[in-house]
A and B are shown apart, each in its own frame.
Chain A
Amino acid sequence: MSLDRIRNFSIIAHIDHGKSTLADRIIEVTGTLTSREMREQVLDTMELERERGITIKAQAVRVFWRGCQLNLIDTPGHVDFTYEVSRALQACEGAVLLVDAAQGIQAQTLANAYLAIENDLEIVPVVNKIDLPQADPEGVAAELAALVGVDPADVLAISAKTGDGVAAVLDAIVERVPPPAGDPAAPARALVFDSTYDQYRGVIAFVRAVDGSFRPGERLRTMATGTAFEAEELGVFSPERTPTRDLTAGEVGYVVTGLKDVARLRVGDTLTSEARPAAEPVPGYRDVKPMVFAGLFPSDSDAYPELRDALAKLKLNDASLVYEPETSQALGFGFRCGFLGLLHLDIVRERLEREFDLDLIVTAPTVAYRVLTLGGNELEVHNPSEMPPDRLEAQEPYIRASIISPKEYVGTVMELNQDRRGEFHHMEYLTEQRVLLVYDVPLAEVVFDYYDQLKGRTRGYATFDYDVIGFRPGELVRLDILLAGEPVDALSLIVHRERAYARGKTLVERLRAEIPRQMFDVPVQAAIGSRVIARETIKARRKDVLSKCYGGDVTRKRKLLEKQKEGKKRMRQLGSVEVPQEAFLAVLNLDDERRT
């Protein structure tokens, strides 16, 4: 198809503003699927995505409207996947910016709108959910017009739920979004904006052809990572994968690569033909590095092989998940895993538990620290137990947090950020009612329950988005927890020096409450290096007997002891101290800790 009949676009929106519903409606209105074929939210294919109402993997679908081919690229909607969003946006010429008529612009709207503007996309502003009783379409349209710099009259008002106005959105896409600007005669180039793994066909790349054309059977190569493979099949999404004879400049589709490792085909990389390679890749490729780390251990140590296999399977479909084996004295064999962010961690944990039926212990999330050792070496630390006690400098990652909040909560949002060592950057009134606050905050302070706190303190009204802005030196210390004099590796934390005392006190208090009394006194200590900063004692039991035991109940008493013996298997033996798994869970559940 000639380029001027193609339109590539995304829908960008804050969570729950109706992105998936609009995508469903577009598929329906254009007759791509009959209503019988429609499932709610066709594009969210993972069970977890449907449940959480979020998109984890980018998806695409091709529809036809008024003689034009429209390629809708659905983007992940969460901050953890910003890079993936930016690649998906790069594959488009336009974006529908969708805002809930009752809620107005939110932090994610803003972040994604800026991302689209940076990518030179034509923005089609749309106010959704105008059928809601509390909707304020005019007010929100004015906000939106101001944000993207258009006339309020150009803002469309729709209800994706009822379908009202959806045709007008499609018209606007055809009329306002420019056709792709590729060169069909140039050497072939395609941008990989996502990939998936098919157990029979290997890695399937989701691509936007930029120049030239691709054919099945051709030898292809990725320009950044240099992976070569044969295009076993090409095709488009309608919305199921449908093979085609070629994929030409401007089109969006997929390439079956036959590769067995998703890591060899990174999002953002450029595909070209080996026979006639392009000179320059599509700009913007970046190797995404995980920022949040946590140890994952099977509750039942026998399940280690299952965890290993499950992670390998997840990794096939998630190139940003990294992991390596980790051995903890306390928790046994497991894996130290790196994630893009907290949501990513949550998703991986939930998928492991749900799809692979694993029972996991997840250690407190930590961020990636940069350490300059006494010997002058630079070190990246992903695990508190690896933090060298003496060092020249430690740096921690900072984020720039954008928070949009109703003005009455500005004070409480500021207080939260100050509590979390945030540095005020700036603040602006978006409207008379709503304020944008920008803070630079250590990521380590955000990975605990920052988001929950923000929501809680603003009654759910504030929204939050962030960018990682780099590393800054910090007064960081490693806080160790000792049980009966022995450090428990899984409970070590890296904290800011000012926080160490309070955190140590909370941890030892909680451990004293959670660990059952033993046959001897067990001191529980929090220490920085050799200096103990908090201490509690679990007093020894004074009595533990089966009081009466006569000839008639020997069997029953024996079974009772055998049951207790069996119960001990679920305990972790730390030196001479037995710690039930629940104690670890309670201690590691740092969500609660801030509240105590």
Chain B
Amino acid sequence: MTAVSHLYVHVPFCAHRCGYCDFVTVSGRRGQHEAYVDALLAELELERSRLAAALDTVYLGGGTPTFAEPRPLERLLRSLPPAAEVTVEANPETVTPALVALLRRVGVTRVSLGAQSFEPRLLAVLERRAGADDVRRAFARLRDGGFDNVSLDLLYGIPGQSAADLERDLGCALALAPEHVSCYELEAKPGTRFTHAHGAELARQADSTEGYFELVVETLTAAGYRWYETSSFCLDGRRSRHNLATWLGRDYLGLGVGAVSTVAGLRWRNRPGLAAYLRSLDAGRLPPRELEPISQVTRRVERLMLGLRLDEPLRLADVEGAYDAGALARLERLGLLERLGDRVRLTARGRFLGGGATVELLAEMPANELVVSG
């Protein structure tokens, strides 16, 4: 068994749960931050044998990791194994000079800033607390603090967002010259408050927002960004090494409530309940988990699904049996996919239709194959 070199740590705390969010989050609970860090470190100890001595990446996601109290946050970051890339997600309003100093102190190399939009009207729809000025201020503070690898998250397809709004948002983001931009289409996830309030409107505007993805890609690539993954763009090879590991099908360990791990043919997800998580680890036991065996076939299906998201070609040998050769030829004929020797990748047009192209390309296989452990 090769040691895992990618670690994800989930910090669920937020000041407020945004309507569209379906991540595992809890708002407030400042009193529990220390206890939660204790639990994370306890889980880390229980799983440490799986990890390599020196990690490639650590990713602290949430929730809002930077909403955590400074003391427990610093304790957590200091206790994690060292890694070449250490990313922390931050909401702009939490980025104080003190926080920036803290992150520098503990060796964080990369900050992912959840801007989402610069338009007050749209930020209000999203229930975000930070305004455009908060984003700019946070960005400046990170730069002042010496961070040279900052990512900005943007959303498009927000209810009421016109094409001009989106162009303005992209312009505002580019003005800050982040090394990395993640640009996601807003999804109305079932069961969220947001879907309840805006689902019908999102469905209505589906036609008019159809071209937004093209607009995003055109604008960012024209500004010199590399469209290296469906929703991710970077300057100067500054890809997110942590996310890239997932897209390349590497194993990763996840700590914290709701965190997912995939290690050696097994995937598990910690149950989302905070209380049970704290209780188990306080007692020195692993938290409650859902297990999912990942068979060889499933692994290849995922490799195909994730690999086609990248601009980097995918080795056909790595997805042997997971794809349909006839469909591959068909997609090639339609100009949606190109072959480069023993590798393939989607063309630009193919990437806009990446979901459909992947479905097309997937080989027919009996459903039960997919859950049998490999």
Q: Roughly how many angstroms separate A294 CA and B211 CA in the complex, as a whole number?
A: 44
Q: Is B210 an interface residue (CB 8 A)?
A: yes
The stretch of B75-83, B141-149, B172-180, B302-310 in contact with A is: B302-310
B142 to chain A, nearest CB (A): 22
Decide if B243 touches A543 in the complex (CB within 8 Å): no
Inter-chain contacts of A566 with B (CB < 8 A): 367
Q: Does B259 contact A (CB under 8 A)?
A: yes
> Which residues in A have their C-beta under 8 angstroms from that of B359?
561, 564-565, 568
Q: Which of B281-333 contact A (CB under 8 A)?
A: 292, 298, 301-302, 305-306, 309, 330
Min distance, Cβ A159 to any Cβ of chain B, angstroms: 56
Interface 0/1 of A553-579, CB less than 8 Å to B: 111011001101110100000001000
CB distance from B169 to the nearest CB of A (A): 16
Residue contact B354 to A544, C-beta cutoff 8 Å: yes
The answer on a CB contact under 8 Å between B354 and A550 is no
Q: Is the CB of B246 within 8 A of A547?
A: no
Query: Which residue from B184, B187, B353, B370 sits with its C-beta under 8 Å from A544?
Result: B353
For residue B214, CB closer than 8 A to chain A, the reply is yes
Residue on B nearest A542 in the bound complex, by CB: B210
Question: Does any Cβ of A come within 8 Å of B230's Cβ?
Answer: yes
**Which residues on B sit within 8 Å (CB–CB) of A546?**
230, 354-355
Q: Across the interface, which residues of B come within 8 angstroms of A552, CB to CB?
A: 8, 254, 258-260, 269
Contact between A551 and B292 (Cβ–Cβ < 8 Å)?
no
A7 to B210: give the CA distance in the assembly, Å.
78
- Least Cβ distance of B333 to chain A in Å? 8
CB distance from B184 to the nearest CB of A (A): 5
| Contact partners of B202 in chain A: CB under 8 A | none
Q: How many angstroms between the C-alpha atoms of A519 and B336 in the bound complex?
A: 9
Given A551-B260, A555-B292; A561-B243 close (CB under 8 Å) = no
Check B305 against A561 for contact (C-beta < 8 Å). yes
Distance between Cα atoms of A98 and B237 in the complex (Å): 91
Q: Are A562 and B370 closer than 8 Å at their CB atoms?
A: yes
- Does the CB pair A548–B187 fall under 8 Å? yes
The CB with the most chain B CB atoms within 10 A, among A542, A545, A566, is that of A545
**CA A552 to CA B259, docked complex, whole Å:** 7
State whether A519 and B357 are in contact (beta carbons under 8 Å apart), knowing that A549-B306, A551-B260, A555-B267 are contacts in the complex.
yes
A421 within 8 A of B: no
Number of A-B residue pairs with CB-CB distance less than 8 Å in the complex they form: 103
Q: How far is the CA of A562 from the CA of B301 in the complex (A)?
A: 9
**Cβ distance B8 to chain A, nearest Cβ, rounded Å:** 6
Contact residues in A for B336 (Cβ distance below 8 Å) = 519
Query: Are A543's CB and B260's CB within 8 A?
Result: no
The answer, yes or no, to whether B334 is at the interface (CB within 8 Å) is yes
CA distance A557 to B269 in the complex (A): 15
Report the Cα distance A565→B364, complex, angstroms. Answer: 8
Note all chain B residues with C-beta closer than 8 A to A542: 210-211, 213-214, 352
Q: Within the complex, which residue of A544, A550, A564 is in contact with B243, where a contact is CB–CB below 8 Å?
A: A550
Q: Is A313 an interface residue (CB 8 A)?
A: no
Q: Which of B8, B306, B353, B367 contacts A545 (CB 8 A)?
A: B353
List chain B residues, Cβ under 8 A from A544: 352-357
Give residues 487-540 of A contacting B (CB, 8 Å): 519-520
- Looking at the assembled complex, report how far the CB atom of A488 sits from the nearest CB atom of chain B, in whole angstroms: 19
Select one of B211, B292, B351, B358 contacting A561, CB under 8 A.
B358
The answer to whether A354 has its CB under 8 Å from any CB of chain B is: no
**Interface residue from B214, B252, B354 paired with A551 (Cβ < 8 Å):** B252
The distance in angstroms between the C-alpha atoms of A93 and B336, with both chains bound, is 77
Chain B residue with the shortest CB-CB distance to A568? B359
Contact of A558 among B269, B298, B353 (CB under 8 A): B298
Is A241's beta carbon under 8 Å from chain B? no
Q: Decide if A549 touches B214 in the complex (CB within 8 Å).
A: no
A448 CB to closest chain B CB, in angstroms?
A: 34
Interface of chain B residues 180 through 215 with chain A (CB within 8 A): 184-185, 187, 210-214
When chains A and B are docked, how far (Å) is the Cα of A564 from the Cα of B301?
14
- Asked, given contacts A519-B336, A542-B352, whether A551 binds B243 with beta carbons under 8 Å apart, the answer is yes
Decide: A550 and B292 in contact? CB cutoff 8 A: no
Tell me how far the C-beta of A550 lies from the nearest C-beta in chain B, rounded to whole angstroms.
6
B324 to chain A, nearest CB (A): 10
| Contact yes or no, B187 A543, CB < 8 A | no
Q: What is the distance, in angstroms, from A151's C-beta to the closest C-beta of chain B?
A: 72
Q: What are the nearest 7 A-B pairs in CB distance? A: A547-B185, A551-B246, A544-B356, A552-B260, A544-B355, A564-B359, A543-B213
A-B contact pairs, 19 of them (CB 8 A): A519-B353, A541-B353, A542-B210, A542-B213, A542-B352, A543-B352, A545-B351, A545-B353, A549-B306, A551-B254, A552-B254, A552-B259, A561-B358, A561-B362, A562-B370, A564-B359, A565-B364, A566-B367, A576-B334
